[in-house]
Amino acid sequence: MEGLSINYIDSTNEDVVVTYTPSSLVSSYSYVIVKDNIYNEPIYVETNTPVNIILNQTGTYRIEITNIDYKNVTSNIVSGEYKIDKETPVINISEKTYQITSKEGFDVMGSITATDNVDGDLTSSIATNKDTLDFSSEGIKKIQYKVSDKAGNTATEFVYVTVRRDNTDIIRLGQFGILLFFLFGLLFLLKYIRSIKLEKRFSKYTINSSKNKSISLFDNLYNQYRDFLEKVSKVIGKLEIVKKGAKRYDKYIEAFEKEDSNINFISKKIIVGFLFVVFIIVVKLIEAELAKPFEMFIPFLLGYITLDIVYAYKYIRYKKKIENDMLEAITVMNNAFKAGMSITQAVDLVARELEGPISKEFKKIGMEISLGLDMETAFKRFSDRINLSEAIYLTASISVLNKTGGNIIKVFNSIEKTIFNRKKLENEFKALTSSSKLIMYVLIIVPIAFVVFISLINKDYFKVLFNNPLGVALLIIILIIYITYIVVVRKVMKVRGIK
């Protein structure tokens, strides 16, 4: 059959093969493929054999053929248009995740549009599965958007809608409760201030009874807090695991919390943790949201360990103060020995003359000796409590002198000189390494500051790390790298040989 096997195609997404078969009168011919009105180079065929013309790219084509017969007469053949469209339509979606309440409802189409490079706007042709979804029940709803162009190319997109329970009434009730709490607190405070003013006005006309046992408002609140603390301690103190865990806080109790027990320390941690949780609940209610379980667990954990950080910092300062005062204490003891005093008298002199933690510790040594504990044991207990090299030197010297005798003045002169040189060397090392330590702290703080800064600018920036398993895995890897980084930097910056 002469001519073109296919003369016209409206729209297709498949390759088109057009076969041209010249007549027997044609001696040679040439053909040009015109794509989107752009002419390609002509292709010459010197015989009258058929040719297959392959059209395999997106565009609008036509074929122009020039025939030459045996009499050298030319004739032209122009095909119809071949429209090939292999590009899929584009579904334009601004957000792929939404969160709504069960009472809000959801506009499935919303701002969804679809466009195609050939057919133009296909928004009206978008098909969805909205009829199979129930937006009044809780859960994650997967909306499918599907559209096809005239050539048969199909595009599919998905939107995920998380439907949560409508907590509007609970949130409003909580917000109203917070408002009432603050109003009553304000009225109580105003009433208290007014009563104080009235008391000052009438105090000059009255005589206070010597048996007046009234206490101030804040003392009363503190007493109530102590009562509540004791009740919590009584409840958790029955647990064996709490008793074992509380022993690690004995050093803090001995140092600066004599009126407390180690169980009370655990109770304080629990109370602070619940205060953190209450704060988060209040913040969420102000934002018209309900706090999720993990949003309450993390603040509780932070509050629970806050006192550990505070007491550890106080204990480090306590030991540092004793370390700084040890040289002065040994100097006082040495002067006391030169004046002919005994070790017990020297201990009492240090307790009287010095102030702060070192005075408390030496008072404790003197009390233990007066209650019948031998000198060596009292100083050994002091060394174990403080765990400082200076205290170990002092304890060892007292023990040797107590057992074997010797010139106590010479021994303490040697201890005083050794500790003085040691302190001098430490100060020199601090001066030499201060810049490197500053660099270390900056390198540790900068990543945290960067995360906080980005979160303030865009609070949803890091949300992807918590919303899918891959993000959680990456977050764990980041934390491991960061902790390793801190350990390595500390090792590099640390100067060995001082302690």
**What pLDDT was estimated at residue 51?**
92
Polymer length in residues for the chain: 499
Mean pLDDT within 332-341? 86
Mean pLDDT within 92-97? 87
Closest CA to 272 of 212, 316, 228: 228
Q: How many other CB atoms are found less than 10 A from the CB of residue 200?
A: 9
Worst-scoring range by mean pLDDT, 65-69, 139-143, 181-185, 486-490? 181-185
- Indicate the residue type of 441: Y
- Rounded distance between C-alpha atoms, residue 418 and residue 411, angstroms: 11
Rounded to 10 degrees, what is the CA torsion of 261, 263, 266, 271? -90
Mean pLDDT within 260-288? 80
Mean pLDDT within 400-413? 78
pTM beyond 0.75, yes or no: no
Rounded to the nearest integer, the mean pLDDT of the chain is: 82
Mean pLDDT within 125-136? 87
Residue burial 291-326, b: 16+ Cβ < 10 Å; e: rest: beeeebeebbeebbebbeeebeeeeeebbeebbebb
Across 120-124, 242-246, 357-361, which has the greatest mean pLDDT?
Answer: 120-124
Mean pLDDT within 299-325? 84
Residues 466/472, Cβ–Cβ less than 8 Å: yes
Residue 96: half-sphere exposure toward Cβ, Cα within 13 Å: 7
Per-residue confidence at 259, pLDDT binned at 50, 70, 90? low
Q: Model confidence over 426-443: pLDDT tens digits?
A: 777 777 777 777 877 887
- Indicate the residue type of 470: L
Q: How many other CB atoms are found less than 10 A from the CB of residue 114?
A: 24
Please check the confidence at residue 191 and state whether its pLDDT lies above 80: no
Within 8 A by CB and 6+ apart from 88, the residues are 149, 153, 154, 155
Q: Which domains does the chain have, with CATH numbers?
A: 3-84 (2.60.40), 90-166 (2.60.40.10), 169-205+215-306 (no CATH), 424-499 (no CATH)
Residue written as token pair 């010479």: 410
Please check the confidence at residue 347 and state whether its pLDDT lies above 90: no
Please check the confidence at residue 257 and state whether its pLDDT lies above 70: no
Please check the confidence at residue 383 and state whether its pLDDT lies above 70: yes
Closest CA to 38 of 14, 6, 60, 57: 60
- Indicate the residue type of 180: L
- Between 399 and 15, the higher pLDDT residue: 15
Per-residue confidence at 496, pLDDT binned at 50, 70, 90? low
Residues 65/29, Cβ–Cβ less than 8 Å: yes
**What pLDDT was estimated at residue 32?**
94
- Rounded distance between C-alpha atoms, residue 87 and residue 84, angstroms: 9
Per-residue confidence at 292, pLDDT binned at 50, 70, 90? confident
- Between 280 and 353, the higher pLDDT residue: 353
Please check the confidence at residue 205 and state whether its pLDDT lies above 90: no
Please check the confidence at residue 17 and state whether its pLDDT lies above 90: yes
Across 23-27, 396-400, 411-415, which has the greatest mean pLDDT?
Answer: 23-27
Residue 492: half-sphere exposure toward Cβ, Cα within 13 Å: 11
- Rounded distance between C-alpha atoms, residue 96 and residue 100, angstroms: 13
- Between 186 and 228, the higher pLDDT residue: 228
**What pLDDT was estimated at residue 258?**
64
Residues 116/90, Cβ–Cβ less than 8 Å: yes
- Rounded distance between C-alpha atoms, residue 48 and residue 68, angstroms: 10
